[in-house]
Every structure is written in structure tokens, then in C-alpha cells.
Amino acid sequence: MTYWQRLLINTLTLVALAYMFPNMMYVDSVFVALMASFVLSILNTLVKPVLHFFSLPITILTFGLFSLVINGMMLTMTSALIGKQHFAFSSFGAAFLIALIMSLVNAIFVNKKVEKYY
């Protein structure tokens, strides 16, 4: 899957989750969701590897589940960079839950290899 397809899937996921959980997450518009997806992809490229490196011991102890906390931190940083008036979460727990759902959606759509079975 190309970068732009993944960006579109993340944008649509953010918009859908903002609609499904209006008390937990706020997205001003589809354009803001697109910008948030773009900023999130940049943070995932630059900051996330550093956080994974420094949190490696706790990630090993939790069998990788701490990665979901890091994903929640990435969404919180994205919210801070975009601006709380345009893209916000009600709490870190909300960001954690949204990160969990986004991880599941990405596992289904982005990482899925479609094979034909005859």
C-alpha cells in the first residue's frame, strides 16, 4: 500500500472515530483530520523510534503492550502540534483507546495482504 493510501485510511479512521466518540475526541473538519494524519506520520517516522528505544525495557516486560501507550503519546503530540481547538482528546485514556482502535484498523486494512484462493 502506498503512503497516500495509508494517509487516506488514517484520515477516514480519525473522522469516523471522532463521529463515533464525540465526548472523547474532537476533529474540526476532514482537512484537519488529513493534516493530523500527515503530522502523525511525520511523528511516527522521527519521534516514535526514539521513544521505542528508550522504553525498550518496559516494552519487553509488557510483551509489547507498552507500544499502545507510545501510540497514545503520538496522538497526544499530534493534538498539541495541530492545536487543541482543531484536534483534541478529552484525556490520555481517550487517546490510548483511539490509538488502540487505529492500530486495529491499520492491521486490518494497511497490513492485509490479499491473496486469491481458488
CA atoms of 50 and 116, how far apart (whole Å): 38
Give residue limits of the domains in the chain.
Answer: 3-110
Report the pLDDT value the prediction gives residue 103, as an integer from 0 to 100: 92
CA atoms of 93 and 113, how far apart (whole Å): 31
For cell 494517509, the residue is 7
| CA atoms 52, 55, 60, 62: torsion sign | negative
| Per-residue pLDDT tens over the stretch 21-60 | 999 999 999 999 999 999 999 999 999 999 999 999 999 9
For cell 488502540, the residue is 100
Report the pLDDT value the prediction gives residue 114, as an integer from 0 to 100: 52
pTM score: 0.87
| Per-residue pLDDT tens over the stretch 82-112 | 998 999 999 999 999 999 999 999 888 876 6
- For the residues of 21-89, what is the DSSP string, one character each? -TTTEEE--HHHHHHHHHHHHHHHHHTHHHHHHHTHHHHHHTTTTHHHHHHHHHHHHHHHHH-TTTEEE
Q: Cβ(96)–Cβ(69) under 8 Å? A: yes
3-state secondary structure of 69: helix
CA atoms of 28 and 42, how far apart (whole Å): 20
